[in-house]
Structure 1
């Protein structure tokens, strides 16, 4: 019943917005996650009207579109989303907007290089932003799409995008230097869910999540017990909360370790599926990445 009502809302909003006159001649761009919003903002700059659906601390795995979101999507000239089923609950909305140009930034990545999963709907880990090289490929992809949509601004998009890629190169060098201060044995990252596998692959961390790739999967008692044993056996000093996942799961894990006469600290909160607050350093992709690395290294040393 709820699905039927939501479908009616979508069709109603689409119909009411169909002939709505835009206030400006600029391209209306809508993005889903905060990481994609930041990426498109860096490339599009003042040449586009940009609206992001999700804010800080929002879990894209569980995100449901509001009527206001459907209105934004209906008025968009182009929609950028992650794909790989990250925004699983928005699929129904996208399917009903077949006349809209919807672009999955994950299409920029060769799927043969992605991390697979037998447990996730797409069979791929969708957290591609934690590989900086992938994010550079996504940058090139967005430059291409925006340049095709607004050819007269191609020079601006390329200049903005190339400048951003230079910043990503600096970021990678900086975090590699920071991570190098950790020994191989110290590079075990335990978090609320499996958002950091690409990070682990890039920087040689063993990554263990209490939940699976999607936060829609609940961790059970057996999962907590198994991971607490792993933490004790590997002498893991710290585990981490995620900004978009309730911290009670990690607190339960910490309690389980302590019940076995061992101690593990909560090393801090990492930004996983969403950036920090708008206007802060962590509210940008580069700031988020650097903050996460500094937090991880400081806690695991």
Structure 2
């Protein structure tokens, strides 16, 4: 209770007073939410800016609540970049408070047109926030973020533009590479069953039918009927493998596997995919490109 009261008081204090001027001439500071966004901003800014991510490897952004330390980082930032589309659902109030004290914020979801965003079939006026799983979307976001960063921090405009062009080229190469990898898998085997519905953009871009046990948000629990329905689907479609996710407890996928086996069939857990968070920052899966490559290789090899 004391922590909750202190957190509320901190937010109130931030709104009541304007942030003090910086005493030292420090680097332009960008605070980011998810690990994918942190990686992108670091790629664009390089060593010329300071990037502070508030979420780490394996963290579920759907359920993430800001700590007092997070609020302190956000309040001292020159710019805040987040996903939007209700991915960071429990941080909405915090972003509103940041706007009230004059902080500049960027929601990457705002960079995409309606045609580029997948609508939810379960909730009216709701959108799939997992926009990074479309490489084409990520390229569009990169292009527009270069412009936004250059406007917010014109001193480093040349840095953002150079690094951005290099990164856009790398993303184009990644998509070509992954299309070749996916082509190893017959179309009838391109069925991806995961812990929650995070891979629809991937499915649309690479021709996979995607089935998630939970909904778009991990706050939605999978029920017994969901497990039974999807286990029947796995049997009918002869799906060889299902996948757990690094940021979601694996118990529901294990329950699904047990359900299939109880009906006299077998399905293996094909590996762990990175969905709402990247891997360890010291490893290749700690970068967007490395994560995407790892995911596709894991999926294709398990479903062959």
**TM-score (norm. length: structure 2):** 0.95
Matched, 1:231 2:234: yes
State the Cα distance separating 1:22 from its structure 2 match. 5.2
Distance (whole Å) between structure 2 residues aligned to residue 269 and residue 87 of structure 1? 22
8 Å Cα contact 2:7-2:67 kept in structure 1: no
Residues 20, 246 of structure 1: alpha-carbon distance in 2 compared, 3 angstrom cutoff? farther
1:26 Cα shift?
Answer: 1.7
Say yes or no: does 1:286 pair with 2:294: no
8 Å contact kept, 1:193–1:209: yes
What is aligned with 1:53? Answer: 54
Q: Work out the CA distance in 2 between the residues paired with 1:219 and 1:7.
A: 33
- Does structure 1 residue 202 correspond to structure 2 residue 205? yes
| 1:94 and 2:95 are equivalent in the alignment | yes
Asked if residue 74 in structure 1 is aligned to residue 71 in structure 2, the reply is no
- CA-atom RMSD, angstroms? 1.8
Report if aligned partners of 1:17, 1:74 keep a CA contact under 8 Å in 2: no
Q: Confirm or deny that 1:182 pairs with 2:185.
A: yes
- Correspondence for 2:135 among 127, 132, 139: 132
Distance in 2 between residues matched to 1:298 and 1:22, nearest whole Å: 54
Is contact 1:193-1:213 (8 Å) kept?
yes
Structure 2, unpaired ranges of 5+ = none
Q: Which structure 2 residues correspond to residues 114-133 of structure 1 after superposition, within 5 A?
A: 114-120=117-123, 123-133=126-136
Deviation at 1:3, TM superposition (A): 7.2
After superposition, what is the alpha-carbon deviation per residue over 1:61-120, rounded to whole angstroms, capped at 9, x for unaligned? Answer: 000000000000000110000000000000010111111111001111112331101435
Residues 88 and 124 of structure 1, relative CA distance in 2, 3 Å threshold? same
Instruction: Give 1:141-152 correspondences, 5 Å limit.
Output: 141-152=144-155
Moved more, 183-192 or 98-107: 98-107
State how far apart, in whole Å, the 2-side matches of 1:49 and 1:173 are. 32
Aligned length, in residue pairs: 301
CA contact (8 A) 1:240 1:266 kept: yes
For the residues of structure 2 that align with 1:64 and 1:50, how far apart are their CA atoms? 20
C-alpha spacing 1:22/1:288, structure 2 compared with 1 (3 Å): farther
- Aligned mates of 2:129, 2:51 — CA distance in 1: 23
8 Å CA contact 1:116, 1:123 repeated in 2: yes
Evaluate the alpha carbon distance shift between residue 150 and residue 20 of structure 1 in structure 2; reply closer, same or farther with a 3 A threshold. Answer: closer
SS in 2 for 1:276: coil
Counterpart of 2:27 in structure 1 is 26
Superposed displacement of residue 11, structure 1: 2.2
